[in-house]
Amino acid sequence: MKSYVDGNAQAIAKAFVQFRQIKREPFATKSGIKGERLVTTSLQQNNLLRQTFYFLPGGREGISVVTCSAPAAGGESLDALFEESMRSFALNK
């Protein structure tokens, strides 16, 4: 997981202008799925965005990535909502 998130963080940093990593930390769902959360800001199509990427094991390719995006200005106000929503994340088999 760590190397996958490392690679994605590097790719995102190269792809987007004004990229800034705000934080990276462990994350777990209510059912115990453990992964990582990466919070960034970057300029995309003339909009400064705050994005939270959730990296979780599972899925066909081995890792699922869910991205939650908001305007950077005030976007942190949605962090708790994004986190609570992702805590209920589950993969259907």
Superfamily of chain region 2-87: Mog1/PsbP, alpha/beta/alpha sandwich (3.40.1000.10)
Percent of the chain with pLDDT over 70: 95
* Chain segment 33-69, per-residue pLDDT in tens: 999 999 999 999 999 999 999 999 976 668 889 999 9
Q: Which two tokens stand for residue 16?
A: 């987007």
Contact predicate 84/68, CB 8 Å? no
Q: What is the mean pLDDT of the chain?
A: 91
- Residue found by looking up tokens 């991205």 in the block: 67
Domain ranges for the chain, please list them.
2-87
Q: How far, in Å, CA of 55 to CA of 67, rounded?
A: 9
pTM over 0.85: yes
